[in-house]
Amino acid sequence: MIHSSAIIHPAAEIDADCEIGAFCVIGEHVKMGPRNRLHSHVVIDGHTTIGEENEIFPFTAVGTRTQDLKWKGGTTWTHVGDRNTIRENVTIHSATGDGDATVIGSDNSLLSYVHIAHDVTLGSHIIMSNVATLAGHVEVEDNVVISGLAAVHQFCRIGRFAIIGGCSKVVQDVPPFMLADGNPARSKTVNKIGLERNGFSDDAQQALKKAYKILFRSGLSTGNAIEQLERDFMDCPEVSLLAKFMRASQRGVA
């Protein structure tokens, strides 16, 4: 299942069940698990591991060297999980520091021209629409949707089940369960549609709506608002997760 025009380094470890299309290039330190399909013109390089059943479309580059000017050499890694769909012209770069890694989870859909920079940690069940861009050291938790042309500043965090509106400029952390939009992006409301689609209970949704109003509409300081969430919603795991995320923020919350 390897096209005759593909160039694969003899030391690369490729499972026999993989399909590698025309003009693909696979580097020396690449390891690929079973049932991966590479369409034509895919480049996988660097110290890169690819899990199982990923589908990678033409002109994608995975594991190439970081663009970070702080790169001083060493061994850096790129880890990709299972069952990801990676569309045309996606770029996923390796980490910057010796021994560090860029990590992609499983069951993600990365649409055309998505860019994932060095040292990003991307969870699972994430959709990134066309031309969405993550700068270095960004952390994206599970079940997030990042709409087209959105850009996320380095070191920002996106909480689980959040959604980022199209063309948004994200310069601070986006809390879980929220819808953020704008330039700069701000938390506009609870991600109601996402919560419904993912089976969250009515009680959890109502609690998150109340939590949103306390955090962003009550006029309380962030610290006092978090304390009120921890005091009033002790039995709601979703609000507890939201409060924990807020406390851990280093860049501030959108």
Residue 170 lies in a domain: no
Number of domains in the chain: 2
- Considering the domain architecture, whether residues 36 and 105 belong to the same structural domain is answered as yes
- Whole-model pTM: value is 0.96
Residue 185 lies in a domain: no
- Considering the domain architecture, whether residues 109 and 34 belong to the same structural domain is answered as yes
Q: Confirm whether 119 is a catalytic residue.
A: yes
Q: Confirm whether 203 is a catalytic residue.
A: no
CA 145, 221, 174: angle at the middle one, nearest 5?
10
Residue at which a domain ends, from 115, 137, 159:
137
- Considering the domain architecture, whether residues 12 and 128 belong to the same structural domain is answered as yes
Q: Confirm whether 136 is a catalytic residue.
A: yes
Would you write out the chain's pLDDT as a tens digit for each of its 254 residues? 999 999 999 999 999 999 999 999 999 999 999 999 999 999 999 999 999 999 999 999 999 999 999 999 999 999 999 999 999 999 999 999 999 999 999 999 999 999 999 999 999 999 999 999 999 999 999 999 999 999 999 999 999 999 999 999 999 999 999 999 999 999 999 999 999 999 999 999 999 999 999 999 999 999 999 999 999 998 999 999 999 999 999 999 99
CA 59, 3, 113: angle at the middle one, nearest 5?
10
What is the rounded CA–CA span in Å between residue 46 and residue 85? Answer: 20
Instruction: Give the contacts of 252 (CB within 8 A, at least 6 positions apart).
Output: 172, 173
Say if residues 127 and 197 touch (Cβ distance below 8 Å): no
Q: What is the CA radius of gyration of the chain?
A: 20
What is the rounded CA–CA span in Å between residue 90 and residue 171? Answer: 22
- Residue written as token pair 């304390």: 227
Residue at which a domain ends, from 137, 154, 169:
137
| CATH number of the domain that residue 223 is part of | 1.20.1180.10
Residue 142 lies in a domain: no
Residue 146 lies in a domain: no
Q: Which domain holds residue 13?
A: 7-137
Instruction: Give the contacts of 213 (CB within 8 A, at least 6 positions apart).
Output: none
- Considering the domain architecture, whether residues 130 and 206 belong to the same structural domain is answered as no
- Active-site choice (123, 136, 148, 165): 136
DSSP letter at 246 equals H
- Active-site choice (45, 68, 82, 119): 119
- Considering the domain architecture, whether residues 121 and 224 belong to the same structural domain is answered as no
pLDDT at residue 52, as a whole number: 98
DSSP conformation letters of 181-227: EETTEEEEEE-HHHHHHTT--HHHHHHHHHHHHHHHTS---HHHHHH
- Active-site choice (39, 41, 79, 118): 118
Residue 91 lies in a domain: yes
Residue at which a domain ends, from 120, 137, 154:
137
Residue 113 lies in a domain: yes
